[in-house]
Amino acid sequence: MELKPYRLNVGALLFNDAGLVLVARRAGMPNSEGAAGGWQLPQGGVDEGEDLRAAVLRELAEEIGTAKAEIVAEHPDWLTYDFPPELAERGFRIAQRYRGQKQRWFALRFTGTDADIRLDADPHPEFDAWRWARIEELPGLAVAFKRDIYAALARDFMPLARRLGGA
């Protein structure tokens, strides 16, 4: 596993006007406790030579059906996580090819309405449900192998969530 590279990736904390962040339930992927799904933030791979800011907006459009958002902050560090070996064993293609993901995270202010969020916009949707959540909920919603990343995001973007929510 150590010999495999990390996949370059971007992630989005999409905030509404109340300072809540969009989380979506992964379709067809068991979480670490064996139950279907697992809540996560929108994220995805970066194409060769693609600008990271363009990539995060493209990923939003692909995964939640809209890119009605403006980038308001960028996490200063690249964050990484490793895929658990059982993902590769179960045929999860990305885990067969990569050790894990190296991610740049962005905070974005949602400029649309809830009706703009369309999980069915892609012919092969990644998510089957979505909701707005408090940022401090993120670590508890994530699958085990992403929990440390989500805890760091919650800690580092908490001040922004409070400002956006008017607290």
What would the pLDDT profile of 21-45 be if each residue is shown by its tens digit? 999 998 875 544 444 458 999 999 9
At 92 the pLDDT is 74
CATH superfamily of 6-164: Nucleoside Triphosphate Pyrophosphohydrolase (3.90.79.10)
The CA distances from residue 43 to 60, 62, 68, 162, 167, in Å, are 8, 10, 16, 23, 27
Q: Where are the domains of the chain?
A: 6-164
User: Would you call 164 helix, strand, or coil by DSSP?
Assistant: helix
Residues of the chain with pLDDT under 50: 1, 31-36
Contacts of 110 (CB under 8 A, 6+ apart): 14, 15, 16, 17, 22, 68, 69
- What is the model's pTM? 0.90
- The vertex-87 CA angle with 37 and 63, nearest 5°, equals 45
At 29 the pLDDT is 59
At 123 the pLDDT is 87
Q: How far apart are CA 167 and CA 159, in angstroms?
A: 9
At 36 the pLDDT is 43
